[in-house]
Amino acid sequence: MNEKKLMDPQDFDQWSAKYDEDVKRSDDSNQYPFVAYEEILDEIQKEIQKLPGKKLLDLGFGTGKLSARLYQSGYNITGIDFSEEMIKKAQCLMPNAKLISFDFSQGLPKNLDEESFDGIIFTYSIHHLNLEQQIHLLNTLKHHLRPHEKIIIGDVMTHTQQEMNDAKEKHPDIWDDEEFYIVTEALQARLPQDSIFFSKKSYCSGILILESPSNP
């Protein structure tokens, strides 16, 4: 289980044409995995707008739906995704954004080594990494946050393992056992020095905000 890797980029290339349609269908039907998707994006946007700065990093931005909203509001967007087709779609919405083809399971690309950001966001992407990879990546990203800024994650997630088990039992035929969805109490146990806030949006989804006292 710990050897699980990201899907092949070609899978996402093929999905790119129907991704937004599939997400909307799931959200409209109030069904895993994208139940409350629009509400999650709206709340992340509100949280980002509370931050004092305008420089953002979006990891696994997909078709760019959330980043494009922020871009149109004047934010400076740097994005990482490993699907060339997703990048093409997002670049059309954000022609001046810095969109990089890279697999973030390997961390950040070298050309971002010296970069810092006012906020870092994931929407339905970090679950492709197992827990150890998630912890490692989050610890790395904290060094790229400007002081007192935040990492914000919207995804399939619950506060307790029992809640996650209950969500899985609702959809045994379509639940993806190859994904590593965040259980916030387990993540907090691994990152005791950080402040983690969880906002539940449905029986299987929510928003996590991570603030670290140790970011430079």
Copy the structure tokens of residue 184.
Answer: 């916030």
Q: How far apart are CA 63 and CA 93, in angstroms?
A: 9
Q: What value does the mean pLDDT of the chain take?
A: 93
Q: How far apart are CA 99 and CA 105, in angstroms?
A: 17
Q: What is the pLDDT of residue 12?
A: 67
Closest by CA to 93, choosing from 113, 64, 120, is 64
Q: What is the pLDDT of residue 19?
A: 79
List the chain domain ranges: 9-211
pLDDT range class, residue 4, cuts 50, 70, 90: very low
Q: pLDDT digit string (tens) for 46-94? A: 999 999 999 999 999 999 999 999 999 999 999 999 999 999 999 999 9
CATH of 9-211 given 3.40.1280.30, 3.10.290.10, 3.40.50.10260, 3.40.50.150: 3.40.50.150
Asked if 124 and 156 touch (Cβ cutoff 8 Å), the reply is yes
Q: How far apart are CA 49 and CA 119, in angstroms?
A: 10
Asked if 154 and 184 touch (Cβ cutoff 8 Å), the reply is no
pLDDT at 166 over 90: yes
Asked if 209 and 197 touch (Cβ cutoff 8 Å), the reply is yes
- φ, ψ (nearest 5 deg) of residue 49: -70, -15
Q: Is the pTM of this model over 0.85?
A: yes
Copy the structure tokens of residue 64.
Answer: 């760019």
